[in-house]
Copies of this chain bind each other. A is one copy, B any other.
Amino acid sequence: MDDAMRQALFEGRAGRDEPLVAPDIADDSLLHVKLWGNPCWFSFRLNYLALHFNNPVYGFVQDRLGLLRPDFVVLWSLYLGGPSTLTDVVRSSGFPKNTLSRAASKVHQRGMIDREVDAADQRRVTLFLTDRGRQAVEEVKAEMIEQERRMLECLSPAERLSLSEILTKLVTASGQWPQSLGDGQADEGP
């Protein structure tokens, strides 16, 4: 285990996970070192795991619905949050607004969402799912949940809870993290 990794764990019984390496992963030595000898162990595993969710799920969405990831992000956002403005979707997803604007147009073309201009504020457009859009989401929702279930089934219920709590803490703290590095530029405007 790398020094930086040991330090990142604050000396807390670091290295205990070495023997757990599965054979099919261990035999790829470069993957092995990137997973277990990486000073950025956290972010690499994060990306690695995210990849193993996103690739199958968005591949499936593409096959089944003919939608790209930003397209589906719009639908999923409206599905979870109800009628929302595009800016809401932007803020909650991290995608750039032009990308989501295009995506919204596309799912609108396909009759999956409807738009309603706010009478009070002519700029604001409220987006909401149509029946067809809701149906599209529900067509893939079960598989998404199932994929996540499969991913988590290697954990005990206690571990799942622990994971949920720890990720919660991280997400909650994320507001404090810098959005850009170097040059010490503050988050506040001038």
Interface on A for B, CB 8 Å cutoff?
A: 4, 8-14, 16-17, 20-22, 24-25, 28-31, 33-35, 37-43, 45-57, 59-60, 63-64, 77, 80-81, 84, 88-89, 91-94, 141, 143-152, 154-155, 157-183
Contacts and interface: CB of A to CB of B under 8 A. Distances in A.
Contacts of A164: 9, 17, 41-42
A60 B184 CA distance: 11
A28 B157 CA distance: 30
20 contacts: A9-B160, A9-B164, A16-B165, A20-B172, A25-B172, A30-B88, A39-B141, A42-B167, A43-B57, A43-B147, A48-B171, A49-B167, A49-B171, A55-B179, A55-B180, A56-B181, A154-B172, A159-B169, A162-B162, A163-B163
Given A30-B92, A35-B171, A49-B167, A178 B152 contact: no
A158 B42 contact: no
A30 B182 contact: no
Q: Which of A39, A48, A146 has the most CB of B within 10 A?
A: A48
B155 A170 contact: yes
Interface of A is mostly: helix
Given A37-B80, A171-B35, A179-B56, A149 B8 contact: yes
A30 to B, nearest CB: 4
Going nearest first, the 5 A-B pairs with the smallest beta carbon separation are A154-B173, A60-B181, A31-B92, A17-B168, A30-B92
